[in-house]
Amino acid sequence: MKPRLLVTREVFDETLHYLAQHCEVESNQQDVPLDPETLAQRLEDKVGVMCCLTDRIDEQLLTRCPRLKVVANIAVGYNNIDLDACTARGVMATNTPEVLTDTTADLAFALILATARRLTEGEAYIRAGQWSGWYLKQLLGVDVHHATLGIIGMGRIGRVIARRAQGFEMRVIYHNRVRLAADIEQALKATYVSKDELLEQADFVILQMPYMPQTHHLIGAAELKKMKSSAILINVTRGGIVDDAALVRALKDGTIRGAGLDTFEGEPQLNPEFLELKNVVLVPHIGSSTETTRRAMAMTAAKNAVAVLSGSVPPNFLNPEAGKN
Ligand code: DGY
């Protein structure tokens, strides 16, 4: 008998075809988000789950699903999974790095450009029928070219953003837990600075680190105050890294110029005050959302799940210690 696997949200046909060759698949192709109780009920008889950042895989769920061997997240971020609880139970967890790096870096730049050049404001103005003609001071923005880009978190995506910045002849400064090797810094034309120096000098501050207790509200009122009043904050990583209430205040009182946000605290709910502000560009967590990349993410997760269920080491193993339990 093939191993039983649950796919918690809609995926592409080719993903299901691939999975069906190896597993007995139950898939939520209606894409109705599963509440914790329904998820537990549907997982109780499964050995594998392919899940998304909208599914919470925690201690309580794992207790209900003792047969589970693999949790294959369709995302690079995995703050929806209690990794320690998985490891303690010998449940192998995987993610989907690499395949979304360039696509997410592209969205970061889209937000940089959209906020700097006031694209959504301009579009709303035209759609509202307010455009009566060209004038010199219309929708004045700020330049991206030759500006200083500050990247906090210089992992895969941060580095690709730094490479994109070279095309705009930007000065790149970065802060990271661990300083990069000199040859990598040189290739990226990126200068290491302290977090405070970065906040004080950057025209654009971009956050590119995972969400975890240590990064909760990494950017709050005090950090926003250190930024230039002309600066723009970009968040394409996870909600909760920015204190959204503090950000709303900073955008309202001119502490910073603007923000471009793909992720929000408590999403899909967001601070309603964002909706009233013109100096923020809001998009609904679409950093990795191109057809090619989302297909690649789903297939990567499927291959990780199948690897575990066929007794191999999955390519993107998050908790190798789990294999020892
Ligand atoms: C990820 O992979 O972590 C993204 O946020 C999902 O699009």
pLDDT digits (tens, 9 = 90+) for 22-42: 999 999 999 999 999 999 999
What's the whole-model pTM score? 0.96
Return phi, psi of residue 280, to 5°.
-135, 135
CATH 3.40.50.720 fits 101-282, yes or no: yes
Q: Cα separation of 233 and 138, whole Å?
A: 23
Q: Identify the residues whose C-beta falls under 6 Å from ligand 1.
A: 53, 75-77, 100, 287-288
Given pLDDT bands bounded at 50, 70 and 90, which one contains residue 215?
Answer: very high
Of 320, 296, 305, the closest CA to residue 98 belongs to: 296
Cβ atoms within 10 Å of 31's Cβ, excluding its own? 10
pLDDT at 253: 98
pLDDT at 324: 72
Of 3.40.50.720, 1.20.810.10, 3.40.50.300, 1.20.1290.10, the CATH number of 4-99+291-324 is 3.40.50.720
* Alpha-carbon distances, residue 1 vs 22, 24, 42 (angstroms): 10, 8, 19
Supply the residues annotated as catalytic.
238, 267, 285
SS3 293: helix
Q: For 216-236, give one letter per residue: b (16+ CB within 10 A) or e.
A: ebbbbeebbebbbeebbbbbb
Of 303, 40, 325, the closest CA to residue 317 belongs to: 303
* CATH code 3.40.50.720 region(s) in the chain: 4-99+291-324, 101-282
Residue nearest to atom 3 of ligand 1 (CA): 77
pLDDT at 325: 58
| Nearest atom of ligand 1 to the alpha carbon of 75 | 2
Tell me how far apart the 2 most distant CA atoms of the chain are, in Å: 72
| Nearest atom of ligand 1 to the alpha carbon of 297 | 2
Residue nearest to atom 2 of ligand 1 (CA): 75
Mutate which of 100, 106, 215, 295 for ligand 1 pocket (most atoms within 8 A of beta carbon)? 100
Structure tokens at 195: 């977090």
pLDDT at 323: 72
DSSP H/E element including 113: helix 101-116
- Tell me, in angstroms, the distance from the centre of ligand 1 to residue 207's CA: 14
Given pLDDT bands bounded at 50, 70 and 90, which one contains residue 71?
Answer: very high
- Tell me, in angstroms, the distance from the centre of ligand 1 to residue 135's CA: 41
pLDDT at 289: 98
